[in-house]
Amino acid sequence: MTNEKQEKIKKVSIVVSRGSLDGVYPGLIMGNGARMEGIEANLFFTFFGLHAITKKKVNKIKVATVGNPAMCVPSAMGPGLPTWMGALPGMSWFATSMMKKEMEKLDIPPVGEFLEMIHDAGAKIYACKATVDMFHLTPDDFLPQVEGIINVAKFYEVAAGGEIIFT
């Protein structure tokens, strides 16, 4: 340990690339936490993470049960769920419902509401241009909280001088 005073983080840019609840919420929680600490925060949504900021998908995000080796039932620390069971009809709905109930108990808002809160707290929300083009989306497809659709070069410009976090 050194005697030097550790410099505080002043800015973070968070990349959200997964479109499941367990892929989206870490970025939202970290972005919100940054703003609550007075840290500048940028959230950059790419690939299936874009679902969180589109009008059509924001309220339909689910827990991925297939191919998730950490999936446990009936609680997050319960016995592991065999991968094949994740493919059973209704399993994703069941896991999503359980997770949302637990988050509600902790006053963690739904994705759309959380994005509004983070935006209102001063965070900037961006969509990845390459992914937007690949998915054939337009600016009208996005929530009003989205600042813009930017390419990677612009993301690095926005992120300059801060930490980049991948969730």
Residue 39 lies inside a defined structural domain of this protein: yes
In a domain, 2, yes or no: no
pLDDT digits (tens, 9 = 90+) for 40-96: 999 999 999 999 999 999 999 988 777 666 666 656 666 666 666 666 677 777 777
Q: Are 93 and 65 in contact (CB under 8 A)?
A: no
Residue numbers of the domain that contains 88: 63-108
Q: Cα 59 from chain centroid?
A: 13
What is d(CA 127, CA 141) in angstroms, rounded to the nearest whole number?
11
Please check whether residue 61 is in contact with residue 111, taking contact to mean a CB–CB distance below 8 angstroms: yes
Same domain, 101 and 126: no
> Structure pTM?
0.85
130 and 52 within one domain: yes
Statement to judge: residues 79 and 158 lie in one domain: no
Indicate if 163 and 116 belong to the same structural domain: yes
In a domain, 47, yes or no: yes
82 and 21, same structural domain? Answer: no
Rounded CA-CA distance 77/12 in Å is 31
Dihedral sign for Cα atoms in the order 134, 140, 142, 148: positive
| pLDDT at residue number 64 | 77
Q: What is the pLDDT of residues 99-133, one digit of tens each?
A: 888 888 999 999 999 999 999 999 999 999 999 99
Whether the CA torsion 77, 81, 87, 93 is positive or negative: it is negative
> Are 133 and 162 members of one domain?
yes
Return d(Cα 63, Cα 92) in angstroms, integer: 6
Asked whether residue 1 carries a pLDDT value surpassing 60, the answer given is no
CA 62 to chain centre: 12
Q: Residue 151: inside a domain, yes or no?
A: yes
Looking at the structure, tell me whether residues 68 and 52 fall in a common domain.
no
- Least confident range of 2-6, 21-25, 84-88, 136-140: 2-6
Q: Do 40 and 120 reside in the same domain of the chain?
A: yes
Average pLDDT, the chain: 89
Q: For residue 146, with 0-12 CB atoms within 10 Å meaning exposed, 13-18 middle and 19 or more buried, which class applies? A: buried
| pLDDT (0 to 100) of residue 99 | 81
Largest CA distance in the chain: 58
Residue 163, H or E segment: strand 163-166
In a domain, 80, yes or no: yes
Q: Is residue 1 part of a domain?
A: no
